[in-house]
Amino acid sequence: MAARNRVLQFGIAVVNIAIVVLAFTSIWPFPSGDFKIDLPSANDVTWSYANGIVHVAAPFSVDNGGWYDVSELRISYEVRNFSLDILTSDELEIGTLPAGQVTYGWLNVTFDLARFYSSGETWMVFHDDQLYFDVHVSCFYTMKLIKFDASYSATVLWTALVQDWGVDAPTVAGPNSLSVGFWLVTSNLLEGFPPAQVTLQLWGNGRMISEASTGVSLGGNHTGIATFTGVPASYLTDPSYSPHFVRLRFVVAGFTSPPPPSQWETISLEGFL
């Protein structure tokens, strides 16, 4: 009978040792860093813009240095703006990552800025914003005995596509012509895009005197000069033309400023006179 107990004791000990080994090899890779997920930081994010679509690419890597395969590896993300409106969300299914292997990839986040703009959410076109990236990684480990979840929140600064603009002091360009300099600061994402089309109207005493247009390059700080013709020589000096101002409107990469429903933006010239 004592032999039976010894055999039982031995069997239980073997099973328990196996369980301890299983538990240890399942848990140890996580605190030891053998299992590692590198999620992108704000500095790793690269931006691009095309056809009204903003594309954010962020690298990630998953290093399965443990003893078991990682299964059902999923990376999901959600991007919100400062108002916590969801700009986009998606899930990336990686699947199984065998033991000892590393996988590299990119999180490709896109959101349709043109659609936002056309739906009246024009803020991000003309103003800086904060984008909150919530990245969530989930997977199973050790034959699905362990479920691992990791969340990461990153705040990425969004710089407006159209950042600043204005007009310079009007100068006399000829007997009946007046030139007004126009400068425009746009996001570097727009570099290489067709120039912005700027239309200006010269107004005096409540009526339009002349209209001119010019093109301004995009991507950074660029200027253009609009020359008004048929302008009375006394326009700048005759108080009867007060108030002196220009109205302008420009189109940058398909976005019109001022955004609808406004048609024109008014800039006073009184300070320049």
Residues at the interface with another protein (CB under 8 A): 1-2, 4-6, 8-9, 12, 15-16, 19-20, 22-23, 26-27, 30, 142, 144-154
Nearer to another protein, 8 or 86 (CB): 8
Nearer to another protein, 30 or 264 (CB): 30
- Closest separation between CB of residue 145 and another protein, Å? 5
SS3 of residue 193 by DSSP: coil
- Closest separation between CB of residue 13 and another protein, Å? 9
C-alpha 63/C-alpha 38 separation (Å) is 8
- Closest separation between CB of residue 6 and another protein, Å? 7
- Closest separation between CB of residue 47 and another protein, Å? 20
Nearer to another protein, 10 or 104 (CB): 10
- Please enumerate in sequence order all residues whose Cβ is within 8 A of that of 255, keeping only pairs 6 or more positions apart, or say none: 114, 117, 122, 125, 161, 162
CB half-sphere exposure, 33, CA atoms < 13 A: 1
- Closest separation between CB of residue 16 and another protein, Å? 5
C-alpha 226/C-alpha 172 separation (Å) is 12
C-alpha 187/C-alpha 158 separation (Å) is 10
- Please enumerate in sequence order all residues whose Cβ is within 8 A of that of 185, keeping only pairs 6 or more positions apart, or say none: 162, 163, 164, 165, 220, 221, 222
Amino acid type, 87? L
Q: Which of 251, 247, 262, 221 is nearest to 125 (CA)?
A: 251
